[in-house]
Amino acid sequence: MAARPATLVDKLSLIPHVTIGLSVGLARLATRPFTNDVKPPTAFKDFVYAVFRHVLARVTIPLEKWLTIPTEETYLTWAAKKNIEADTAVLASGVKVHWIGNPSSEKVFLYFHGGGYVNPITPEHLDWLLELQTDLSKTKSVAVAVLGYTCAPEGQYPLQLRQGAESLLWLLSAQGKKPEDVSHCFPCKTIATCWLICSAQIFIGGDSAGANLALGLLSHILHPHPKFEDELRIKLPNPLAGAILTSPWIKFPTDDDSTTRNAGSDFVCKEAADRWGAAFHGM
C-alpha cells in the first residue's frame, strides 16, 4: 500500500504549521521557569522540541514522504560528500544493505535505523555510524551494515521483520560471519570492549523503530514467526555478540502514564507515534 502523493494543500499547510509551531515554542520558553512538568535539560532543546511536537502532530504521512529522501539516495549522497566509496548489496528479495566500512571486516554491526517505520535514514544517522565504525576499528576491523528496509505504509508488518531476518541470514551465509558465544570471557567494562577483544563477530541494533526491529528479530530467533517460511528461520550455532538498543520503541499504545508524564520533554508526540504505528500495522 503506497502513500498517496502530497497535494499542494498538504505542502502549503506546512506554512501555518511551522509558523504556529514557532509561537508554541516561544510560549514554552516563556513558561519554562514556572512549570513543574518534565522538560528537556536546556531551554534551546525545550524550544526546538515544542516546535517539532506541534508540527509532527499535524503533518500527514504523504507530507512526511515529500519532505524526506529515500534511504538509498541519502546513503549515496552522504557517501559522495564524505568521499567514501558507496557499497550496496542487493539481497534475494530486492532489499538492500548499505555498507560503512569494509564488508570483509572481522566484525559487523547490523543496524536498523529509526524513523517510526515511516521515515527513511537521515545523514545524521550515517554520521554517527561512521564515527562509531571509525572508533571501533582502532582496535579491530569493524563494518556497519545498514539495512534499507521498506518503510511504511509501502511496507507493513511483518515485512520489515522478514527483511531483518533475511539480512542476518545473508551475513551468516553469503558473508560468512559467525556469531560466537562470549559468555566464557572475562568481565569487560563495556559490551563494546567485550565484542572487540573476544571472538564474537555480529552485533545487531538500532534506534527507535530500528531498535523495535532488532528486538523483533531476537524474538524471531527464539520463537520463529509462524507465517515465515523455513528459509527465514534462524538457527544460530552460537549466540550473537549482543544487541544495542537506542531509545527503543517498545510498545505502540500511547495511553500509558509514561507517555503522559513525559509529553513535555519527548521529541516525538503522541499523535505522530499513533500515526506511524497505524501505518506500520496497516490500520
| Predicted model pTM | 0.91
Whether 256 and 236 share a structural domain: no
Full residue range of the structural domain in which residue 176 is found: 71-246
Do 96 and 63 reside in the same domain of the chain? no
On whether both 177 and 156 belong to a single domain, the answer is yes
Q: How many separate domains does the chain show?
A: 2
Overall average pLDDT of the 163-172 stretch: 96
Average pLDDT, integer, range 165-169 = 96
Shared domain for 242 and 131, answered yes or no, is yes
> Residue 194: what pLDDT?
53
Asked if residue 206 and residue 109 are part of one domain, the reply reads yes
Q: Order of strands, edge to edge, in the sheet holding 107-112?
A: 88-90, 96-100, 142-148, 107-112, 202-207, 242-246
Task: Please indicate, yes or no, whether residues 168 and 269 belong to a single structural domain of this protein.
Answer: no
Whether residue 258 is contained in a domain is answered as: yes
Please tell me the predicted confidence (pLDDT) of residue 190.
55
The reply to whether 182 and 257 lie within a common domain is no
CA geometry: angle at 272 spanning 215 and 42, to 5°?
A: 90
Instruction: Return the C-alpha cell found at 117.
Output: 517505520
Within a domain: 1: no
What pLDDT was estimated at residue 186?
45
Domain-embedded: residue 191: yes
Per-residue pLDDT tens over the stretch 169-211: 999 987 777 776 454 444 455 555 554 545 568 999 999 999 9
CA distances from 195 to 29, 93, 202, 226, 275 (A): 44, 30, 9, 32, 37
If you compute the radius of gyration of the chain from its CA atoms, what whole number of angstroms results?
Answer: 20
What is residue 34's DSSP assignment? G
Of 184-193, 216-225, 248-257, which has the strongest mean pLDDT? 216-225
With a pLDDT cut of 70, the percent of the chain lying above it is 93
pLDDT given at position 83: 96
What Å distances lie between residue 224 and 43, 210, 220, 232, CA to CA?
46, 19, 4, 9
Residue 225's pLDDT band (boundaries 50, 70, 90)? Answer: very high
The single residue listed with the C-alpha cell 537521515 is: 122
Report which of 17, 103, 78, 16 is spatially closest to residue 52, judged by C-alpha positions. 17
143: CATH:
3.40.50.1820
Q: Residue 53: inside a domain, yes or no? A: yes
Same domain, 116 and 222: yes
Residues 148 and 215 in one domain: yes
- Residue 43 covered by a domain: yes
Mean of all residue pLDDT scores within the chain: 91
Q: What pLDDT sits at residue 2?
A: 79
Say if 173 falls within a structural domain: yes
My answer on whether 58 and 148 are in the same domain is: no
CA 87 to chain centre: 20
pLDDT of 129 > 50? The answer is yes
Q: Are residues 103 and 199 in the same domain?
A: yes
Q: Are residues 51 and 79 in the same domain?
A: no
Answer yes or no: is 97 within a domain: yes
Asked whether residue 3 is assigned to any structural domain, the reply reads no
The pLDDT of residue 188 is 52
